[in-house]
Structure 1
């Protein structure tokens, strides 16, 4: 970004300058970045921010100077293009035997290369740095997200006479599709970095000979009895581990095509072993096809619904996009379909062409809360009009951020987060959501965080399997749910991503149940011994990750999301819930140490159940919530969840109490009544005399009294009881 003299947070002129799209002051750039030069910052600090007091009584200060200085430690690295790295397409494993039967006999590079279709070779030398992620892997993935998976068909074997190579030739349609992909990849990077090939010949090498005579002798044997067809769902980066050019290439990164990853269990061409797939089927860990298609259909229906009110006829100054994120984008079986609706202002060249909707948005653009609420009202009204016969409930949840929650008749739940981009984009930059998706420097809520995970994990299919296994275990044992003081789904995803990145075998094209078990063992051994009190878990180790504000450092387990501003995804954890989570890790690690068969151990882990309350708990605070309708009750419960973390934090910090929270809302006799319980290690008599505890409890209950949307039928009550009385009451109901 262009430089500035004054701090833009305090000076409006500096703010305009620093946010401007063009580079106004090239002399203010710290670095003019070169295409083949990358750098990483070890330490960065601004000096000269301190102010001088000139009127202590009226608290008036002046800046020491209108300029600031930097303290900086920076590392530079030339990024070479190397023959040890290649960007390729790989056929699925079930196609290999046919291809390898030829290559084993006639290709001298049979042991060095897997069967592949070359896109770029040589390619960038990736050495596992954040710069690799920011400048190569993430731009590639965001490009591939705009492509759908496609099929390749090979119907003949041809040869290059000049170098005596025989190869499998793609048909015309496959060739055109791959060439389009090739050209778009070239546009991501300076063309001079790659060999300037006037004729890019797509092929899959079968045989290499040292003379035309030998090639002609073998040619009659190289025939196809029928065309070969296979799907392309990933693009692969292959890498050699040494410089001798003789070692085998292994998969360094596997980047999926399409905005939504293919659900695990629905891919017949997966590189996951049959034994591992069978285990997941037995334990019912895969999402069934019907459930996935229902979510896909709901997303498409909502996209069409929003297009009716937000389109080129109704908006000239603004543009919008609608993306899935979270579990659905990762191809996992999640309870909800998480989506984000994003609105961006365009820099229009025609100032007289404002629509009615443009004028409303322009009037509200400096009041983000009002604009956000107006968009939510428009979306909610449109959903109720278009989908009224398909939905049970559509409501606005007033949580930390407003969310639209929709429950369909088939029990599919969709949640819509509304994001408004403050910076405007040029009209020519915006093309069918491409710019918003590709511009990861201004992250879309949930989307770019998910994409960074996908590029970091090396093998998305193995990551999918590990995450669904760990998440199922966490739900079974009651350690899942950020609103209850435990870890949210995204926190578990980051923990799994770090394990995959560090411990996935480099030389494997096919993952066995043994390799999966090793990842599970590494997960529990790593995090049961992790120093949670002083360390953070993040995808890349940078000094500025640990130097967060006090707001981002709340909580006892710091798991930082990979996108700026690196918000701690586990701020709701407290010492008590952190202890329970670590205890859960340690229990599983003891099971693994028994050294049973892989499948038996994995099964035993998933059969662990929730122990609420813990044996140390002596008293229970039970909340009872009720409403006139199910919709009203759900709204009331959502409000309770949004206020719960502050109360739990007060019990821990201000009252020094050990807290165990229930990670679900209970239904007993009455359908319009719900119960939520919190356990304490003190007995109810001592706790009832704890003044600070009652101060925190009353502050918590006051939030329900002042709730803006509360009706007379929305009620809440509490009861403090012994563990014995609580168990007896539950037995009755």
Structure 2
């Protein structure tokens, strides 16, 4: 899918604030930002990158063998067994290209309608993984809000979700961005698909992916250093920061990362919360799934710092933020912008 530009030719819900590109000084500062991130150890080595690719390839082979075995055991004919397929997708920091050394890989297994979650995924796939010598620390959490199978393959941490689609056969060229993929699936599958759909949509909605990645790496590191990187504690997590950075990239589409970092702190230190941050307009969709709408939903009106996911069904990704944690974050944004203004 091409960049999701609106009829006016720009990405986002409003026109850009500035189309200016970087000066020589901006480019020099961007090089300094990149060196700072590298010196901080935020980039993985080439060997680790290759290992991750090998691990994902192994996982894809495993789920394909699993679905054929499970289909045969279920009593289907050999022709259907031969056509049976499951696919692995990635999302989160790995898919966005901002993961660091040793980070988990957020993954999604997509299977056909006969491969149920409890029996096929948490029982048969779990047992297959348990028998593999390269797999360790296997930990199923079937009752989580988003059910997950956690494990390591050759030391690489994997969080594996499962989407049980209504398809009889999963095509190898399956496109998760199509809304009809949510048709006739359970809530756990909608939630499991959400990570991939949101991550991919963010990448479609930013004008320059390389600038987005460098800026997001910096902002994530800054948030961790300043103690405001935590969904659980009422601050912001990975997807929240990605959407915030993505919006700044839309507002300054030709800016370099050093410019985007400064603009990030300026914009969000002055943002009129609880006005939402959105990368695209909220679509109602035709499947009747609930979307964020403070006009209709009383609970949505109480959200302090709405950061809306860009894929249907659009939701507030920062519902844990409270009045006090928002205050702390605005103070941090203001402090950071003042530092950026120093000569």
Q: TM-score, normalised by structure 2?
A: 0.76
**Does the 8 Å CA contact 1:404/1:416 hold for their aligned counterparts?**
yes
Equivalent runs, 1:716-731 vs 2, <5 Å: none
2:265 maps to 1:520: no
Alpha-carbon distance in 2 for matches of 1:588, 1:275: 17
The match for 1:407 among 118, 134, 152 is: 152
Deviations 1:69-112 (A, max 9, x none): xxxxxxxxxxxxxxxxxx9xxxxxxxxxxxxxxxxxxxxxxxxx
CA contact (8 A) 1:306 1:382 kept: no
Deviation at 1:130, TM superposition (A): 7.0
Matched, 1:419 2:146: no
Identify the match of residue 382 of structure 1 among 128, 134, 138.
128
1:584 positional shift = 1.5
> Residue 525 of structure 1: CA displacement?
0.9
1:464 to 213, 233, 238: 213
Which is greater in Rg? 1
Query: How far 1:311 sits from its partner (Å)?
Result: 2.8
Q: Measure, in 2, the Cα distance between the counterparts of 1:390 and 1:521.
A: 45
What per-residue deviation string (whole Å, max 9, x for no partner) do you get for residues 590-629 of structure 1? 211223xxxxxxxxxxxxxxxxxxxxxxxxxxxxxxxxxx
**What are the Cα deviations for residues 96-143 of structure 1, in whole angstroms up to 9, with x where unaligned?**
xxxxxxxxxxxxxxxxxxxxxxxxxxxx97622679xxxxxxxxxxxx
The one of 495, 506, 518 aligned to 2:244: 495
Q: Aligned-pair distance for 1:395?
A: 0.6
Ranked by relative contact order (alpha carbons within 8 Å, sequence separation 6 or more), the top structure is: 2
Shift of 1:431: 3.3
**What is aligned with 1:367?**
none
Paired with 1:527 and 1:580, the residues of 2 have a C-alpha distance of 12
Aligned with residue 539 of structure 1, among 276, 279, 282 = 279
2:70 aligned with 1:305:
no
Deviations 1:449-496 (A, max 9, x none): 111111111110000000010001111111112122221100100000
Higher fraction of strand: 1
Give the CA deviation at 1:385. 0.9
Partner of 2:188: none
How far did residue 279 of structure 1 move? 3.8
Change in Cα spacing, 1:502 to 1:407, as seen in structure 2 (3 Å) is same
Tell me, in whole angstroms, the C-alpha distance in 2 between the residues paired with 1:471 and 1:129. Answer: 23
- State the alpha-carbon separation in 1 of the partners of residues 333 and 105 from structure 2: 28
Q: Which residue of 2 aligns with 1:281?
A: 38
Matching of residue 332 in structure 1 with residue 89 in structure 2: no
Structure 1 residue matching 2:320: 3-state secondary structure: coil
- Structure 2: gaps of 5 or more residues: 14-18, 22-28, 183-192, 285-291
Measure, in 2, the Cα distance between the counterparts of 1:405 and 1:554: 34
Spell out, residue by residue over 1:365-389, the C-alpha distance to the aligned partner (whole angstroms, 9 max, x if none).
Answer: xxxxxx4222222221111112xx3
For these two proteins, the number of residue pairs brought into alignment is 295
Residues 126 and 319 of structure 1, relative CA distance in 2, 3 Å threshold: farther
Alpha-carbon shift at residue 324 of structure 1 (Å)? 0.9
For the residue of structure 2 that corresponds to 1:405, the secondary structure is: strand
Q: 1:424 to 1:310 in 2, by over 3 A?
A: closer
Q: In structure 1, what is the Cα distance between the partners aligned to 2:277 and 2:7?
A: 26
Q: Residues of 2 paired with 1:325 and 1:530: CA distance?
A: 28
Q: Which residue of 1 is the match for residue 228 of structure 2?
A: 479
> What is the match of residue 372 of structure 1?
117
Encode CA deviations 1:335-386: one digit per residue, 9 max, x unaligned: 21000112233xxxxxxxxxxxx5xx5xxxxxxxxx4222222221111112
Q: What SS does the corresponding residue of 1:573 show, helix, strand or coil?
A: coil
Separation (CA, whole Å) in 2 of partners of 1:526 and 1:580: 16
Match of 1:141 in 2: none
Structure 2 residue 325 is matched with structure 1 residue 586: no
**Per the alignment, do residues 288 and 551 of structure 1 end up closer, same or farther by CA in structure 2, a change over 3 Å counting?**
farther
Q: Assess, with a 3 A threshold, how the Cα gap between structure 1 residues 521 and 276 changes in structure 2: closer, same or farther.
A: closer
What corresponds to 1:563 in structure 2? Answer: 311
In the alignment, the residues of structure 2 paired with residue 550 and residue 480 of structure 1 have an alpha-carbon distance, to the nearest angstrom, of: 28
Please list every run of 5 or more consecutive structure 1 residues that lacks an aligned counterpart in the other structure. 1-86, 88-123, 132-240, 242-249, 251-271, 346-357, 362-370, 506-510, 596-733
**How far, CA to CA, are the matches of 2:341 and 2:179 in structure 1?**
42
1:577 aligns with 2:325: yes
User: 405, 425, 447: which one pairs with 2:196?
Assistant: 447
Distance 1:526 1:130, change over 3 A: closer
Q: Which residue of 1 aligns with 2:190?
A: none
Secondary structure of the residue aligned to 2:86 is strand
Q: CA deviation at 1:394?
A: 0.7
Shift of 1:391: 3.6
SS, match of residue 558 in structure 1: coil
Residues 168-225 of structure 1: CA distance to partner in whole angstroms, max 9, x if unpaired?
A: xxxxxxxxxxxxxxxxxxxxxxxxxxxxxxxxxxxxxxxxxxxxxxxxxxxxxxxxxx
Cα separation, partners in 2 of 1:528 and 1:303, compared to 1, 3 Å: same
1:296 alignment partner, SS class: helix
